[in-house]
Homo-oligomer: A and B are copies of this chain.
């Protein structure tokens, strides 16, 4: 039904080998020959069969993003970043959601699902143990970590601890002393960024000799409702915190909501700062430490594609890119 490379070869009066080389832009093809072949291929509206090409070349022509779950702002931004970073390369982006550990897990491990169909994988926001148990390192293709660091594995992430320090220092700067925390899962957790942010939070409190009661720390499940409930609990404490650092903006929205319900004015009676740089932060006057999530995706794509190319070229170093975060001070911290 569809044309094959042979049809093009015939029409151009050359061999299929030459057509193959010409169309892929390989070096050793006479410029005129190439031009003719390209023209004819276009006239014929020829397009190559990916599966044939992949089978013959041994390349999968795809990469996978492996993530604990699909949904939410962070995921979507990373995904969009990957997509745009992949634009220059002719590869398909496959997606595999593992499910959260402890909660629903995907019936089949990432390894089984994607082996033989990818040239590389970027692992998003997963602890190293999970990456291992999903068999991602046994795939014999390059792996890039996103949002986490690990010795010997290329990665792109932010400085979570530093970001948390910035957030909490800002609260201290504004004169707040009794500083609460809304984390994601109950601490400690297997998720490194959360632990790092906790450490950053504690760093600042210790440095200034401020209270570090565990009662000031509440998990918020990384969603709006969880944040609301966490803030409710914090506001019920006596003495209650005068400021709160939330590990995500979405939880902070919930927290704002809880404050509104109680008539507590954000930034005056109780300050709150989030983390992420979510689109709505500005709208809701939420101070936050923004992270360049799309950029994380873009960089991950590039790191991975470099490595894939590099497998056959010279060995590459183990790149570990750390992207900068940025503090935005708004009304929720009295600015």
Contact of A83 among B70, B93, B112, B280 (CB under 8 A): B70
Q: How large is the interface on A (under 10, 10 to 19, 20 to 34, 35 or more residues)?
A: 35 or more
The interface residues of chain B lying within 8 Å CB-to-CB of A97 are: 83
Residue interface bits A39-67, CB-to-B below 8 A is 1, else 0 = 00000000111111011000010100000
A314 at the interface (CB under 8 A from B): no
Residues A71 and B80 in contact, CB atoms below 8 Å apart: yes
Which of A90-112 touch B at CB < 8 Å? Answer: 92-95, 97, 112
Q: Given that A77-B71, A80-B70 are contacting pairs, would A55 and B47 also be in contact in the complex, using a CB cutoff of 8 Å?
A: no
A225 to chain B, nearest CB (A): 7
Residues B2 and A62 in contact, CB atoms below 8 Å apart: no
A147 at the interface (CB under 8 A from B): no
Smallest Cβ-Cβ distance to A55: which chain B residue: B51
Residues A2 and B76 in contact, CB atoms below 8 Å apart: no
Residues A76 and B72 in contact, CB atoms below 8 Å apart: yes
The interface residues of chain B lying within 8 Å CB-to-CB of A36 are: none
The interface residues of chain B lying within 8 Å CB-to-CB of A174 are: none
Contact of A55 among B49, B72, B94 (CB under 8 A): B49
The interface residues of chain B lying within 8 Å CB-to-CB of A233 are: none
Residues A51 and B54 in contact, CB atoms below 8 Å apart: yes
A6 to chain B, nearest CB (A): 15
The interface residues of chain B lying within 8 Å CB-to-CB of A80 are: 70-71
Docked CA distance A112–B90 (Å): 12
A32 at the interface (CB under 8 A from B): no
Smallest Cβ-Cβ distance to A224: which chain B residue: B283
Docked CA distance A223–B72 (Å): 16
Smallest Cβ-Cβ distance to A285: which chain B residue: B257
Smallest Cβ-Cβ distance to A61: which chain B residue: B51
Smallest Cβ-Cβ distance to A258: which chain B residue: B283
The interface residues of chain B lying within 8 Å CB-to-CB of A228 are: 283
Residue interface bits A68-90, CB-to-B below 8 A is 1, else 0 = 00111001110110010000000
With contacts A2-B116, A51-B60, A62-B92 known, what are 9 further pairs, Cβ within 8 A?
Answer: A1-B140, A47-B112, A50-B51, A70-B76, A71-B77, A75-B76, A83-B95, A225-B283, A253-B280
Q: List 12 A-B contacts (CB under 8 A).
A: A47-B112, A51-B51, A51-B60, A52-B55, A70-B80, A71-B77, A75-B76, A223-B279, A224-B283, A225-B283, A253-B283, A257-B283
